[in-house]
Every structure is written in structure tokens, then in C-alpha cells.
Amino acid sequence: MKRIFFVASLCLVLALAGPVTAKTTFVSIGTGGTGGIYYPYGGGVAEIWSKYVPGVKAVAEVTGASVENVKLAHKGETVIGEVMGDVAVAGYKGLSKFKGKKHDIFSMAIMYPNLLQIVTLKKSGITNVEQVKGRSISTGSPGSGTNFMAEAVFKALGISLKSYKDSRLSFTESANALRDGTIEVGVWSVGPGTSSILDLATTHDIRILGFTPEQTQKILAANPTYSAVELAGGVYRGVDQAVDTIGVWNVMICQASLEEALVYKLVKALYENNDYLLKIHPSASYTTPENAVKYSPIPLHPGTVKYLKEKDISVPTKLMP
């Protein structure tokens, strides 16, 4: 009787405990502020992974963007980060703001190109980027790729970081500060058609400052990860002509220690459900396997390499982990 009672009790405990569930892997994606493209793009990626990769629950987190995302991925506070290419190189090699400390990251996928968009109101009278000297401006939030790129560009042009007053605001805060007149220039490094500039342009006449050929030459000479690009006219209300500016590719990085099998599944789901990302933002058209090998600024994770080889895409030696 005692044995029968024990078996019956054990069955009751198992019934109350419910069925055994598979282990869930939580994947956190470091994005940026809500006024740019990183956050909605990262949210779309999180939905794809949560839906199409069994056992994975992904979430997009608001962060300070590129520089912070490298540090978070390295420390394991997030495992995926959306990062500008120049920042990825600096973090991987331990340069610039990473102060000699190489961070344990690999490239996972190429996202889309960022364009440097230096915005002022037409009534400010500012027509050349070198007129930021002596002005109140915002070069983007601390730890962001925008701040990193703005300072790199200003340095290349001989604009001292002490020659202007920098509020270092987020995209949304920069737009509001331009609207309120508390700053005269705001800097964005983001895909064209970002919500914060679009909203500002609906209520105020804006000007986006371009670069002269001489300025462009200086910037590219000092920063090999940058390229000369055009911001097409008509993206923002009142900016009807193309603007000569600087571009840099965004890269999705991951913690170097992530298992090859996991990264393979994530990359496969990302590329094979790109149509969903396109519904969130047209910049996702650049997120292709081919672009991963064309534009990745640092070596690829073994999981990505495995997927690319399955697709018969040759991976150059410099991108092998």
C-alpha cells in the first residue's frame, strides 16, 4: 500500500508541475534611441527571431547606441548590437574611445548604410559645417555612433572639439532643441528618412549641411571606413536638392563566444525573413548575405560563415574568424 501511495503521490506532483518545457534562450539586442532607425529595425529583428527560431526569445533594448553596444556585447549584458562600421573597427581593435582594449565581438550581418546628416534651421544662417565654431550644437548622445562620427569628421576638418558647446542629445532631444532654439546645429548619423528629422521638417524650414569636395577629401583621407555619398533630394520637406555627405555601413555585431549553432540559426532566420524587415523600414533592402561579405568591417562569426558557405558565397580571408 505504501508503494502504491508513493507512486500516486509522484504522479500528482508531476501533474501539478505541468509538462516539461524546452529551454528558452534569451537574446537581447542593443539598439539606440527611439528617434532613429536602430530601435524599430532591432524590434523587427527581435520579432523574426522570436517567431522563427525555436527556443529563442529576443528583445530589442533602448541603449546609447554604437559605442555602448560594443561594450555591452563584450561584457555580455547584451549579446547582439547594432553598430556603425567605424565603431565596430575601433572596438574590435581597441582604438579611439576603447582606449587600447580590444573587445570580443564579431560581425554577424550588414544592416544598411548610415548617412551623416548635419541639420540646422534655415533661419540660423549657417550654410557651412565649419560655422559650428562658437555655436551651441548636439553631436549625438554620449556612447553613440553619431557622436563618434561627428567628432571624427570635425577633427579631420580641423574643428576643435572645444570650439563649440556640445549638448550631446539623443535624436529626439536634438530635434526638440532645434525646434526650441536651444541649439543651432544637430548631428545625425542614421539611415535617410529618420522620424525625428521628418517630424522637425514638417513644422520648421530645415537645411542639411553638405561638404565641399575639399572637405570630403580631408574626411576620407582620415577615415578609410567612410565613403562619399549623396542624400537624395526630397527625403525631407524643403530639402529638394541632393546633399553631398559622408556614409558608413551599419553592422550587426555579436558576442564572439556565442555558439556557432545559435548564430547560424539567427542569421538564417534574419536573411530568409527579410521581407518582414522591409515592412518596418526600406533600409532593410541592404540586409543581404552578399553585402555581409562586401561591407563587413571586421571578421564574421563562425555561424555566419557557415550560413554563407551554404549559400555558395565566398568569404574572403580577412573576414574569417
From residue 172, give the alpha-carbon distance in Å to each of 59, 176, 247, 283, 298: 22, 6, 21, 20, 30
Domains in the chain, please, with CATH?
A: 25-111+251-319 (3.40.190.10), 114-248 (3.40.190.10)
- The DSSP letter of residue 299 is P
**Can you give the pTM of this predicted structure?**
0.85
Confidence class for position 281, pLDDT limits 50, 70, 90 = confident
Give the integer Cα–Cα distance in Å for 59 and 106: 20
Give the integer Cα–Cα distance in Å for 3 and 8: 9
Contacts 24+ apart (CB under 8 A), 223-226: 223/86, 223/152, 223/153, 223/156, 225/85, 225/86, 225/89, 225/249, 225/297, 226/86
Please tell me the total number of residues recorded for the chain in this structure: 321
Confidence class for position 186, pLDDT limits 50, 70, 90 = very high
Contact 303, 315 (CB under 8 A): no
The conformational region for residue 241 under phi > 0 = left, psi -120 to 50 = alpha, else beta, is: beta
**pLDDT over 80 at 166, yes or no:** yes
Confidence class for position 21, pLDDT limits 50, 70, 90 = low
Tens-place pLDDT, residues 61-113 = 999 999 999 999 999 999 999 999 999 999 999 999 999 999 999 999 999 99
Contacts of 288 (CB under 8 A, 6+ apart): 110, 271, 274
Tens-place pLDDT, residues 171-183 = 999 999 999 999 9
Contact 253, 44 (CB under 8 A): no
Tens-place pLDDT, residues 187-235 = 999 988 899 999 999 999 999 999 999 999 999 999 999 999 999 999 9
Give the integer Cα–Cα distance in Å for 92 and 89: 5
Q: Which residue has the cell 532566420?
A: 269
Mean pLDDT of 225-249: 96
